[in-house]
Amino acid sequence: MNNELYLDFLSKWQQIVYILVFITLGIGVLNYIFFKISFMSKKTYKEKFDLASEKESKKLLSGHIFVAVALFLFCNTLEYETMKLDELWFFIRLFVSLCIGVLYGYIAQLIIKFYYPGVLEKKLKKLRYTPRINPENGNKMKLLSEEEEDAYLDEGMQAEENVFSVDYDVWIDESTGYTKIEKYKGHLSALECDRCGFQTLRLAKEEIIKEATETEDGELLKEYNCSYCGRIKRKNVVLTRRFKDSSESGQLIDNPLDHDGRITVIKVEIHGSGGEVKEYDFQNLDQAKNFLSEFDFEKLQN
């Protein structure tokens, strides 16, 4: 590249990148500010809980991605006089800036993935268990226990709680009897039944119809059962073919109890004294622990 053309390009690059730094950083900050405004505008703790649990981590991560891009652009404005000496310095700065931006983004992603969930959980607990206020008279309401709340839940709601797919909180104003019922996601991911509409459709059993081989995929039949209306739903799932070389199929995890990013599901199998077997799938160890702490075998048999 001709030296005059290079210097002209470098000068324009410097001006454009300066502008892009402020635009990118501004977008990232405004994106998170709009989320906080939306959060603060919610009138009830339940609405705040739903918004925070669904979007807060995502908005925080996207904000840090914009900051990472802004950091990459900003680093490409440094050492301007040095860049004039040779075109090679421009590409060196570009590479170093890219490394810094990617490093920042990667660290931010790790923090949000492994550290922030603990912070968010404390925030969500505070939102969920802060005493509710009766809108009619301003009285503080009482949160009923699991045993007390059943009197205020219909059969469908109780069925959802029994399979741990949904958890209901019942708040009551003891002076007037005014009640408020709030719905939260449970420990297990049950499906919504297409007949009764409740989230009580759970995996009941699995049957291998065709074994997977080294050359052909297999087939698995999954049978789901609704504990409320008795709906039975079947679904065929493809079993991927087996690999001869175990290195092709994945790696063994040394300690499955660690919070390892490679873990996609935790299976819990419970055997009753009468020969009954119950199987449950969880996304992480915390969900499995919470489930076991509340597990009632007799309750699930009903």
- At 32, give phi and psi (nearest 5°): -75, -35
Number of structural domains, the chain?
A: 4
Q: Which two tokens stand for residue 206?
A: 């699995």
Find, among 236, 297, 230, 288, the residue nearest to 259 by Cα: 288
pLDDT exceeds cutoff 80 at 225: yes
- At 106, give phi and psi (nearest 5°): -65, -45
Radius of gyration of the chain, Cα coordinates, nearest whole angstrom? 27
107 vs 154 pLDDT, higher one: 107
pLDDT exceeds cutoff 80 at 283: no
- 7 with 49, same domain? yes
Distance between CA atoms of residues 55 and 120, nearest Å:
11
**pLDDT attached to residue 203:** 73
**Average pLDDT, integer, range 39-65:** 93
- 171 with 152, same domain? yes
Q: What is residue 113's DSSP assignment? A: I
**pLDDT attached to residue 161:** 73
Task: Give Dmax over CA atoms of the chain in angstroms.
Answer: 87
- 10 with 98, same domain? yes
**Least confident window among 12-16, 221-225, 265-269, 278-282:** 278-282
**Least confident window among 16-30, 38-52, 136-150:** 136-150
- 100 with 61, same domain? yes
**Average pLDDT, integer, range 100-129:** 91
**pLDDT attached to residue 246:** 40
172 vs 221 pLDDT, higher one: 172
Distance between CA atoms of residues 152 and 158, nearest Å:
10
Q: Which two tokens stand for residue 83?
A: 């860049």
pLDDT exceeds cutoff 60 at 154: yes
- 44 with 81, same domain? yes
- 114 with 158, same domain? no
pLDDT exceeds cutoff 90 at 105: yes
Contacts 24+ apart (CB under 8 A), 61-64: 61/108, 61/109, 61/112, 62/28, 62/31, 63/28, 63/29, 63/31, 63/32, 64/28, 64/104, 64/105, 64/108, 64/109, 64/112
* pTM of the complete model: 0.59
CB proximity list for 288: less than 8 A, separation 6 or greater: 266, 268, 280, 282
Strand partners, 170: 181
Residue 4 pLDDT level (bands cut at 50, 70, 90): confident
Per the CB < 8 A criterion, the answer to whether 152 and 182 are in contact is: no
- 161 with 57, same domain? no
- 54 with 12, same domain? yes
**pLDDT attached to residue 70:** 95
- Max mean pLDDT range (92-101, 184-193, 205-214): 92-101
Question: Which spans in 42-86 are helix H?
Answer: 45-51, 57-75, 80-85
Percent of the chain with pLDDT over 90: 36
pLDDT exceeds cutoff 60 at 38: yes
pLDDT exceeds cutoff 50 at 253: no
- 70 with 102, same domain? yes
- 196 with 171, same domain? no
Could you read off the pLDDT of 17-37 as tens digits, one per residue? 999 999 999 999 999 899 999
Distance between CA atoms of residues 3 and 52, nearest Å:
54
Q: Give the domain range for residue 30.
A: 3-129
193 vs 2 pLDDT, higher one: 193
pLDDT exceeds cutoff 80 at 266: no
Q: Which of 88, 104, 129 is the last residue of a domain?
A: 129
- 237 with 148, same domain? no
Strand partners, 12: none
pLDDT exceeds cutoff 60 at 275: no
CB proximity list for 51: less than 8 A, separation 6 or greater: 38, 39, 42
How many angstroms separate the Cα of 91 from the Cα of each of 10, 148, 294? 12, 68, 59
pLDDT exceeds cutoff 80 at 130: yes
- 38 with 149, same domain? no
Distance between CA atoms of residues 96 and 125, nearest Å:
42
